[in-house]
């Protein structure tokens, strides 16, 4: 159907959708790449460490204590992701090794894929990553999962649960309760 034959409301929606897509593409290009140097440079009030580009990242204290986000990410990954992506992000016969993917994948692309899903069809296989954008058990812990996989990708964390961890901050607990809909 020619553009001019479409109802005005549809044309407005199509224009708005194209604008949002353009902004999303631009934002993903402008946002920092999560595969860069994972060294933490600062910590916010929720206890989240970030790298020089502002991406969530892991932190290990000199005494071997891991940050809360890495610990929580370990737990969340094993509750929602490992069934397909294998133990510790090592991959499986039908889903890629996320610890390898994060060496090239930006934080924005990671978040977009988790929220919106992905379909990759080739002549030999049909891989489908379901969308988790409406699943609070994943989306409320997106940064945690990213940080855990980033630690695995960097080789900083072996195939083990972090033994010592920082305490969960009150600000993190409050944000978690709000995201999960707790009253």
At residue 147, does pLDDT exceed 90? yes
Say what the pLDDT of residue 125 is. Answer: 72
Residue 43's H or E segment, with its range, is strand 42-43
Say what the pLDDT of residue 1 is. Answer: 40
Please state, in angstroms and as integers, the Cα–Cα distance from residue 39 to each residue in 25, 35, 54, following that order.
26, 11, 11
Q: Is 153 exposed, middle or buried (0-12, 13-18, 19+ CB in 10 A)?
A: buried
Q: What confidence tens digit (pLDDT) does each residue in 84-132 have?
A: 898 888 888 778 888 888 888 899 999 999 999 988 877 777 778 899 9
- Average pLDDT for residues 54-79, to the nearest whole number? 94
Residue 145's H or E segment, with its range, is helix 142-154
At residue 152, does pLDDT exceed 60? yes
Say what the pLDDT of residue 183 is. Answer: 67
Say what the pLDDT of residue 20 is. Answer: 38
> What is the value of pTM for the model shown?
0.77
Say what the pLDDT of residue 90 is. Answer: 81
At residue 149, does pLDDT exceed 80? yes
Say what the pLDDT of residue 25 is. Answer: 40
Helix, strand and coil percent figures for the chain, each rounded to 5: 50, 10, 40
Say what the pLDDT of residue 8 is. Answer: 43
Confidence of residue 23 (pLDDT cuts 50, 70, 90): very low
């Amino acid at each position: 159907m020619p553009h001019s034959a479409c109802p005005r409301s549809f044309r407005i929606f199509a224009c708005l959708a194209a604008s949002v897509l353009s902004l999303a593409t631009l934002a993903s290009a402008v946002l920092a790449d999560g595969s860069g140097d994972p060294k933490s440079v600062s910590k916010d009030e929720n206890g989240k460490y970030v790298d020089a580009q502002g991406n969530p990242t892991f932190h290990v204290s000199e005494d071997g204590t891991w940050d809360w986000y890495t610990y929580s990410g370990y737990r969340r990954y094993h509750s929602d992701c490992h069934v397909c992506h294998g133990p510790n992000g090592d991959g499986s016969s039908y889903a890629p090794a996320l610890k390898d993917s994060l060496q090239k994948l930006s934080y924005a692309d990671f978040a977009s894929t988790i929220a919106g899903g992905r379909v990759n069809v080739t002549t030999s296989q049909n891989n489908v990553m379901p969308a988790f954008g409406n699943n609070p058990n994943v989306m409320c812990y997106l940064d945690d999962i990213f940080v855990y996989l980033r630690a695995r990708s960097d080789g900083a964390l072996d195939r083990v649960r972090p033994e010592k961890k920082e305490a969960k901050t009150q600000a993190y607990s409050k944000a978690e309760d709000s995201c999960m809909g707790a009253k």
